[in-house]
Amino acid sequence: MLTTDKRIKKKNSGWKGIAVIGMITILIVIALRIFLFASFKIPSLSMEPTLLAGDFILVNKLIPGPRIDFLGNKETNSIFRVPGLRAIQRKDVLVFNDPYYQSKVIVRNWNAHYVKRCIGLPGDTLSIKNGNCFISNDSTTAVVRKYQDENRLAIASTQYDTPRMFKSLGWTVHNFGSIYIPRKGDRITLDSVNRHIYARLIEYETDKKMTEMDGLFYLDTDLCSAYTFQKNYYFMAGDNSSDSKDSRYWGLLPEDHIVGKVSYVWKSIDPNSNKYRFDRFFKSLDE
């Protein structure tokens, strides 16, 4: 028969075991969220019909690799990313941080997230002509998507037809570019046209202000006739092109803003009826 002291020790030992298991479970969950997966809820219609408002998505951080934010180097304006399974591919659906969150310059706000499809990769030259998006690069030239749809074409010219960032170039959402998407190491000569395309990217990478004076370009006070990019960039688009503010409006996405690739819809709730959409449970985006 156990004495009172032995009973107390056994009870305390049991609680300690439960506490240890609980802490290990918490650490495993934290590690999974940092290195492997994240979950987000879709709030809008911009990715219909692929993703619906009320979908809960599972994001695979192993593509392109988990970003460890607290290990970044503030002095060089660089992040730390663990090598992943593969690089971003065209047509991947990605979750990324809003590069222009409440700002006219690129910011690092890791709390604001978007989900769009990647249609332009580093090294591509992209243009949209009469609603058809063309991609050309070292190996191919192809139409990768159509921006023309009945809803959009039925709308007369509005403030949204002319992207504010590219207004000075005369581009519209249906006639856009051409625009070269920089890859790390690319060197681009600056002129009066591509200054409008790349100035904010260069300012983000250098943390300096670009100005133009007498046809010459300066970063702060340093003359800058050409620039070598330090990061890869991507062109992102919503599947529901008539209701998507994407790279046609705010420009190219820096690679360090990417969280990961959307793999599954693991749960879905209709926001109008609050009913489960069971047919969307564990729906793969790789189908």
pLDDT at 229 over 90: yes
Q: In this structure, are residues 188 and 180 in contact, taking their beta carbons and an 8 Å threshold?
A: yes
195 in the same domain as 82: no
pLDDT (0 to 100) of residue 156? 33
Same-domain status, 130 and 216: no
**Within 10 A of 215 (CB to CB), how many other CB atoms are there?**
7
Higher pLDDT, 228 or 177: 228
Q: What is the pLDDT of residues 237-250, one digit of tens each?
A: 999 887 888 999 99
Are 180 and 259 within one domain?
Answer: yes
Q: For residues 220 and 160, state if they share a domain.
A: no
Provide mean pLDDT across the span 78-88: 90
State the DSSP code for 22: H
In a domain, 6, yes or no: no
128 and 246 share one domain: yes
210 and 163 in one domain?
A: no
Whether 213 is covered by a domain: the verdict is yes
Report yes or no on 5 lying in a domain.
no
**10-14, 42-46, 110-114, 124-128 — which is least confidently predicted?**
10-14
pTM: 0.85
User: Domain check: are 109 and 201 in the same one?
Assistant: no
In a shared domain, residues 219 and 243:
no
Domain containing residue 224: 187-228
Same domain, 249 and 275: yes
3-state SS, residue 118: strand
- Split into its structural domains, the chain has a count of 2
- 279 and 141 together in one domain: yes
pLDDT digits (tens, 9 = 90+) for 102-116: 888 998 888 899 999
Which residue shows structure tokens 């919503």?
Answer: 238
The sign one gets for the Cα dihedral 190, 195, 191, 117 is: positive
**Within a 10 A sphere around the Cβ of 137, how many other Cβ atoms?**
17
Give the residue-averaged pLDDT of 138-146: 62
Instruction: Examine the domain organization and report whether 149 and 80 are in the same domain.
Output: yes
Residues 169 and 199 in one domain: no
181 versus 79: the higher-pLDDT residue is 181
